Each structure stands twice: as structure tokens, then as C-alpha cells.
Structure 1
Amino acid sequence: MFLAWNEIKNNKLRFTLVIGVLMLVSYLVFFLSGLANGLEDLNKEAVDKWEADGVILTEESDLRLQQSVMQAEDYDGEGSEDYAELGQQSAIASNGDNKANTFIFGIHKDEFIMPNVTEGEEFTNEGEVIADESLKQEGFAVGDELSLSSIDEKLTIVGFTDNARFNAAPVLYTNFETLQTLQYGEAVEQGDEQVNAFVVRSNNLNEIAVDEELQVVDTQTFIENLPGYTEQNLTLSFMIYFLFVISAVILAIFLYVLTIQKVSIFGVMKAQGISSGYLAKSVIAQTFLLSFAGVVIGLVLTILTGYFLPPEVPVSFNYLDMFVYAVVLILVSVIGAFISVQTIVKIDPLKAIGG
């Protein structure tokens, strides 16, 4: 460690460049992880808000909410601790000045998927909706009358709720009477409506009894089958994994070049009786110090960047994940240094000093 630290102090510019490269790589890894988490939250916020264990869909739906259509009487709650009916429709909503892609969720106020209201009030009459707070950033407000694409009916925002986006689009919560009117032009009596899913809470989903035309899936499986969810996460994850490899390769190349430049010095040190093991430990220690400094600086810069990003950027940092990625980056950097260690071991003192 003494030799490694002294060399770093005596060659500040050279090793600052190495730290800078590692800092940029780690910064990109941390930011991509935050972007992956943010995009993941955009897709499943509304589902997480249910705090449910499973979802009942039709067998032919391919686990897609919009393709699942059934009657309210198709499930009576058998085997579940609690359940809620859910209807869904997508639409482009406009308040005259602004437009937004939205999902309209039809629910019953007395069931557990009824969202909390952070501003305004709950819907009570037909045509009233509670909207996700992200719409406020797009120019929508309580009291706005909404026009919907291809639908003559109007909706009125009476309140806002937090963390209610589905498939990256804000959700409008309303009662089933409103949803049925939007879909079919007229409301129906409660119990006669069509639903897209039953959201259930149960300690054992296997105990839930449904007809053969229906299926029960756990909430995580339902989320993973949201359009684009898995593909998006896999893409960003592969980018992060490749950056780990790139980090190891970059540091290995830097250290190998530096080692080749110091072959004669290592040769003299070996001739003086300093063992290859000691020199190898020095290189490993030096690599650890460089990678640790680069990763820590990258981590700090990423957290600072997060404070200045606008709300429109879907970044959410999971500090446990970032800690794991930091440890992995340091480990792969140390592993990459073993190429230089092999070079040091093979140095012949006589040849290195020109003997």
C-alpha cells in the first residue's frame, strides 16, 4: 500500500486521468440504474398502489388488462381475503390547452383500490375523476373539464392522487357508471357491469376458486407482462452489465501500459530482493485506491445530479442497488489488474535492467 500510494502522489496527472475515466463509467452505471428504476416505476405505480397479491384475468387475455373482459358476477370473492372490481379504458384527455395520454380506471369507492386524495375531493357523481398528480405538471388542475378522444362525454377533475401511473401514463379514477357510459353510451346497475379484472388480496392465491375461463396471476407476474416492461428492463440491465466489463477492460489497459513503462524499475526492485508478490500486492492496492476514488466520485455526482433533474425525467435512485453496483465496479476493476500482475511475475531482473 505504501508503494502504491507514493506512486499515485508522484504521478498525480496520470492517475487523475485513470480516476476520471472510472468516474465517468461509474456515473453512467449509476445513472442508468436510476433511469431503469424510474421507468419501472412509471409502468407499475398504479399497480403497486393497490397493495394487492394477485389479479384475476381471462385465460385468453395473454395477461393483458385491456384484453381481459368479463362480467362482475364471474367472481364472488371465494378464497380471497378481499377483492375489488376494476375496469379500464385508454383515452387522450384534453382540457383545451393541454393533452395527455391517460388510462381511465373504473372502480368502486368502497373497495380497497380506491386511491387516497392529495388535493381536492373524492368523486361522488357521474363524470367526476381523480387524476394522477403528474397531470398537474402538464397544466391540468382541479375543476378542469376534460374532453376525450373519439368520445362525446366530458369528465371533470375533482381531485388528485399521488403515484398513480400505469404503463407510463397517468391514471384517471372514476366510478363504474362513468366508465360504462364512456364505453357503451349508458350506465348500468352495479353488479351488471363488465370488468377487466378482479384485484385480490390473499395469503394463498392457489385457494382462490375461479371458472376455467379465468386465471389467477400474482401481482409481479402481471407487472412483468405489461407491454414493454420486461424488454425495457432487460435492455437497460444489459447496458449496465456491459459497462462493468468495459470498466474492467479500461482499467486493465491503463495499468498494463503503466506496468510496461515501469518494467526496468520493477527489474531493479526485483534485483534488490523485493519479491514479485510484494509488487503484485502493490498493483492490486493501487487499483483498489483508483477504482474506489472513481466510483465514490461518480456516486456523489450521480446523487447531486438527481437533485437538479426536472420532474419530467423518470429517474429514481435505489441506494441499495447503487451500493451493490459500486462494489461490483471495484471488484471487476481489481480483477482487471491481474493482467498487470502476470506481467510483473514474468519480469526477469537481468533482462529488465539490460544485463
Structure 2
Amino acid sequence: MQILLTPLYLAQMEVLRNKVRFFLISLLIALITLLVLFIAALAEGLGGGNREYISKLDADLLVYKADSDLLIAASRLPRSVMNQVRRVPGVRAVGPIAVSNAAIDTPLETPDADPLRVALLGVEAGLPGAPPIISGSPFSTNRAPEAVVERRVIQRLGIKVGDRISIRTDQGSGDETFEVLVVGLSDGQQYGLAPVVFLPLLTWDRVRSKTGPNSPLNLNLIAVQLEDPNDLAAMKALIPAQVKDVEMAGIREAYEALPGYKEQQSTLDTQRFFTLIIGVLVIGGFFQIQALQKVPQVGMLKAIGAANWMVAVAAIAQIILVTVIGVLLGGAATLLLASTLPPGIPIVFTGQAAVAAIVSLLFIGPIGGAISIRYAARIEPLKALGMSS
């Protein structure tokens, strides 16, 4: 035990005697940690904001218009298709999903604020596609002037269940405003990075943006629940065989087909990877310079009997200590900075992503310092002492 404590003591004493130097490299690691954690949180926030509603659907399959390339905006399905899909053997339930955009006027207390841009979704209560209600109640009828809103709408407008909101949409000849009663609250239901306002399908048809008064009601998607979710592959083939002009997608396939989703995640993953590479180079460069400066001291230690493994353990201990301090400082700075961000910024910290980022950051220290450890272990005592003289 004493043999192992000796190199640890040497590493500790050198860090204490050169506090400023090692603290500066810890600050560099802290900045890299801050950057990596924020990129991870941004990837999660942007990805989640795009896929959140689709990924949480209580459905097994989604029906699109044929040849729409799984693009929701390009998919236009008549309501009659929903009845055809419902009659396919193996289908338990189907629900309509219609998508549009709108703006919600801000309360009178803040007249100068910009309208809140939202995704306007038409669904039917109790069917696949309808949001889970965490407060309040679902729609009373399919024509009721009622809305279930996502939590972010509540936060950003300062409203509550029981209040009325004014939804503004383009009706072809100009903008019109429709007033609806907020009857329910849902959570975690973003679509296209916008908070969602759910309306009964026929109310949605009246409120949605249109090119003219006779614009027909079409669905963008049909959410399908299966009697046996294990028959997913078979049902993906059976439904298009029995219903004309449709194509199918699973939930994951659907949100990965969202415009820009894969490209966005790939870009952020690349940024995170190169940030870690920069971290390895920075730490490696610092400890390599440190090793060159310590050649006489290492030579002296070896001359009085210190083994190569002792020198290596001391170097590894230094690297780990500096890296851990840097990661802790960076993590604390990240939490502090995240607490000051406004709610509209798509930064989401999840335990899994944070742990993966921190573990990778803890590894960049030893990886970056590996060359300096090997260099220190190969120092010849006589040559080193000759250099010191």
C-alpha cells in the first residue's frame, strides 16, 4: 500500500506547488466540458422539440398519403380513408391528425409582446393522436370551441385552464381571430420546435389556415393502434394492400423522416466529436510540455531508485486529478448557466446524455496524456542528469 501511495503523494505535491499552472489547464477542461454538455443538451433539445409529439404518440403505425416521402406537410388524406383503415383486420383503433400553424395573441397586460407561434393540431378525444391530459379535461364534443394546450403555452402566456385564448390564422383573404376555451393541459408535446395547441378536429377545420372558404378538410396522418403490436411488419404490408394510395411508417421511422432531423443530429454529433478531439489535443499538449520540463526531476527520481511504473502512476494521477477538477468545474458552470436561460431556448439536459458526455470527458485526460506518460517512463537517468548539469 505504501508503495502505491508514494507516486500519489508525488503527484499531489507537484500539483500543490504549481497550483496556477494546473488550475489553468483545469479551466481549459472546464470550458471544453461546458461546450460538450451544451452541445449534448442542444442536440437533445432540438431533436426532442422536433420529434416530441410524434415519438410520444399512443400508436403503433402512422398512415401517410402514398408518394409523400413520409413528409407530413405533403400528406393529404380524405377522412374516408380513416374508416377504410379501421376496417382492416388487426386494427384496434385509428385517430386523425391534422396539422397547421397559428399564432396566439398575447394577453392584454403585455400588448407589445410578439404573438406566440404554435403548431395547431386537430385530433379527436379518446382516439390515437389525442394528447394525454395532466390537468383539466378533454374536449366535450368534436365541434366545441375548446383547446388542450401544451405546458410551454401556459408558461409563456401566463394563462391557466379555464382561460380563453385568441388564435390568429390566415384565411386567404386576411388574418382572422378565433377565441377558444382552454379546457386541458398536456405536457411534453412539441411539434417542429413549436408548442402545440390541440383542437377538436372540426373546430380545427374552422380555425386552420386556408387558401379560401371552400378548402376541403384533409388529414395529414392517421394514427393506428394494432390489436397485436408484435404484428407490426405484417400490418405495414397489409394496410396498403387493402387501402389504396397510402403508405405506412413506424413511429421511429416517422420522426426520423421529419425535415432536417437526421442532418441536424448528425451535425451536432460531429461538433461534439471534434470538441472531444480538441480536448484530447489540448490536454496531450499540456502534459507533453510538462513532461519535457520535468526531465531532470524524473531523471533524479529514477537515479535514486524510482521504478518506471512509479513515474507512470504519478503522471496518471496528475492527469486524472486535473481532468476531474476541470469536469466538476465545467459541470457546475453548465448548471449555473442553464438555470439562467429563458424557457424558449431548446436546451434539454437528460441524465443519460449528461452521463455519456461526462464519461467521455473523463477519458480524454488519460488518452491525451498517454504520450507524455510513455515519454516520462522512457527517460534515461544519466542523460537526464547530464541535461540538468
Contact 1:122 1:158 in 2 (8 A): no
Alpha-carbon distance in structure 2 between the residues aligned to 1:343 and 1:49: 53
Inter-CA distance 235–346: structure 2 relative to 1 (3 Å threshold): same
Q: 1:16 is matched by which residue type in structure 2? A: F
Q: TM-score scaled to structure 2, two decimals?
A: 0.82
1:194 is matched with 218
Flag structure 1 segments of 5+ consecutive residues without an equivalent.
none
Please say if 1:149 is aligned against 2:170. Answer: yes
1:87 is matched with 98
2:3 is matched with none
2:125 is matched with 109
Alpha-carbon distance in structure 1 between the residues aligned to 2:214 and 2:125: 20
Alignment of 1:280-319 (within 5 A): 280-319=312-351
| Alpha-carbon distance, 1:87 to partner | 1.5
Alignment of 1:1-355 (within 5 A): 1-74=8-81, 75-77=84-86, 78=88, 79-94=90-105, 97=111, 98-117=114-133, 122-123=138-139, 124=141, 125-139=143-157, 141=159, 142-151=163-172, 154-159=177-182, 160-181=185-206, 182=208, 183=210, 185=213, 194-202=218-226, 203=229, 204-208=231-235, 209-211=238-240, 213-354=245-386
Aligned-residue sequence identity (percent) comes to 26
Q: Secondary structure at 2:344's aligned position in 1? A: coil
Alpha-carbon distance in structure 2 between the residues aligned to 1:342 and 1:121: 67
Alpha-carbon distance in structure 2 between the residues aligned to 1:292 and 1:53: 44
Count of residues in Structure 1 that have an aligned counterpart in Structure 2: 351
Alpha-carbon distance in structure 1 between the residues aligned to 2:240 and 2:367: 56
Inter-CA distance 140–20: structure 2 relative to 1 (3 Å threshold): closer
Alpha-carbon distance in structure 1 between the residues aligned to 2:54 and 2:204: 19
Flag structure 2 segments of 5+ consecutive residues without an equivalent.
1-7
| Alpha-carbon distance, 1:10 to partner | 2.0
Q: 1:22 is matched by which residue type in structure 2? A: I
Inter-CA distance 327–244: structure 2 relative to 1 (3 Å threshold): same
For structure 1, which segment, 293-302 or 174-183, has the greater mean C-alpha deviation from structure 2 after superposition? 174-183
| Alpha-carbon distance, 1:178 to partner | 2.6
Contact 1:128 1:158 in 2 (8 A): yes
For structure 1, which segment, 79-88 or 257-266, has the greater mean C-alpha deviation from structure 2 after superposition? 79-88
Please list the CA deviations of residues 168-195 of structure 1 after superposition, one character each: whole Å capped at 9, or x if unmatched. 122221222233334463698xxxx532
Alpha-carbon distance in structure 2 between the residues aligned to 1:87 and 1:173: 10
Inter-CA distance 40–157: structure 2 relative to 1 (3 Å threshold): farther
Please list the CA deviations of residues 215-273 of structure 1 after superposition, one character each: whole Å capped at 9, or x if unmatched. 22111111111122222211211111111111111111111111111111111112222
Alpha-carbon distance in structure 1 between the residues aligned to 2:153 and 2:275: 35
| Alpha-carbon distance, 1:33 to partner | 1.1
| Alpha-carbon distance, 1:320 to partner | 2.1
Contact 2:95 2:128 in 1 (8 A): yes
For structure 1, which segment, 257-266 or 316-325, has the greater mean C-alpha deviation from structure 2 after superposition? 316-325
Q: 1:211 is matched by which residue type in structure 2? A: P
Contact 2:22 2:322 in 1 (8 A): yes
Please list the CA deviations of residues 302-348 of structure 1 after superposition, one character each: whole Å capped at 9, or x if unmatched. 23333332212222111122112212112121011111123223322
Q: Secondary structure at 1:354's aligned position in 2? A: helix
| Alpha-carbon distance, 1:31 to partner | 1.8
Contact 1:69 1:196 in 2 (8 A): yes
Alpha-carbon distance in structure 2 between the residues aligned to 1:138 and 1:308: 16
Q: 2:239 is matched by which residue type in structure 1? A: V
Alpha-carbon distance in structure 1 between the residues aligned to 2:336 and 2:246: 48
Q: Secondary structure at 2:85's aligned position in 1? A: coil
| Alpha-carbon distance, 1:126 to partner | 4.7
Alpha-carbon distance in structure 2 between the residues aligned to 1:5 and 1:201: 61
Q: 2:202 is matched by which residue type in structure 1? A: E
Alpha-carbon distance in structure 2 between the residues aligned to 1:287 and 1:19: 10
Alpha-carbon distance in structure 2 between the residues aligned to 1:186 and 1:138: 34
Inter-CA distance 177–153: structure 2 relative to 1 (3 Å threshold): farther
Alpha-carbon distance in structure 2 between the residues aligned to 1:172 and 1:6: 61
Inter-CA distance 176–100: structure 2 relative to 1 (3 Å threshold): same
